[in-house]
Amino acid sequence: MLRSAITAFRTLTILPVPGRDTDTMASSLPWFPIVGLTLGTMLYAITYGVLSLAPGFPAAAGLAFITTSAWLTRGLHLDGLADCADGFGGGQRDKTRTLAIMKDPHLGSFGVITLVIVLILQWSVVTHLASSDRLPWIVAAVILSRVMMVDISVTLPYARATGGIGGPFVAGARPWHLVIALVIAAIAIWALDIGTGQYLLGLPVAWLLTRLFAIHCRRRVGGVTGDLLGATSVITETAVLAIGAILP
């Protein structure tokens, strides 16, 4: 169990976790919401700290969020989103070509445009959260986005014949991994605001987006890849942050 946690943290973060990785990569999936809770708490603390130092400049808090998030995750999920955009944008609905483009380490125009749009959106949304005293939505968004990575791993097959970082996670993913991840996430998010559970409103939004994205992935490439797992995380994280910003 401990080795599974080590693998989850090493895979999803830059945090220096000592110990040995698990032999079964998929066994780390139930730990993804714990990683999300850790990352979300760190991002909340840093963003809140910047806001406290510059209370009249919430835009600085938004900038702190996107830069720290990219650093703590090694930009892994953003890279997946960019590769996904390049593949879907330039693959011309051909599975082999789409997967080949995703595997290409070079960043294309679709990837650049998508990254710019998403980062600006995240910056503006977190800036609004900072100015309206809603920063705990950061924690909820980061937790839920990691749970949705488990969801799509369980519900889709691996799209590549061989290779890829995501293969061992998807191949061994089981429904009970998702059940455990959802329970952990629900408890953690409910605890953010005991009594109202408002942050749980992000769950149906994240789930619906994941289902729609999963349908698209299945149609385009027949399943999911490591890049698509990363894209799932960024898409759902951004959506939940936006929900927090637009709620009355």
* pLDDT tens digit sequence for 73-125: 999 999 999 999 999 998 888 899 999 999 988 999 999 999 999 999 999 99
* Rounded CA separation 133/138 (Å): 11
Residue 210: burial class (beta carbons within 10 Å; 0-12, 13-18, 19+):
buried
Q: Which two tokens stand for residue 141?
A: 């968004």
Q: What is the mean pLDDT of residues 54-79?
A: 96
Measure CA 122 to chain center: 13
Number of domains the chain is built from? 1
Give strand ranges (E) for the chain: none
| pLDDT surpasses 70 at 195 | no
Which of 23-37, 154-168, 221-235 is predicted least confidently? 154-168
* Rounded CA separation 158/167 (Å): 6
Q: Which two tokens stand for residue 59?
A: 């835009």
Name every residue whose Cβ is closer than 8 Å to that of residue 117 and which is 6 or more positions away in sequence: none
Q: What angle do CA 181, 209, 235 make, to 5 degrees?
A: 85
Q: What is the mean pLDDT of residues 133-158?
A: 96
Q: What is the mean pLDDT of residues 215-244?
A: 96
For residue 162, what pLDDT band results from cuts at 50, 70 and 90? confident
Range of the domain at 85: 2-246
Full DSSP string of 112-154:
HHHHHHHHHHHHHHHHHHHHTT-TTHHHHHHHHHHHHHHHHHH
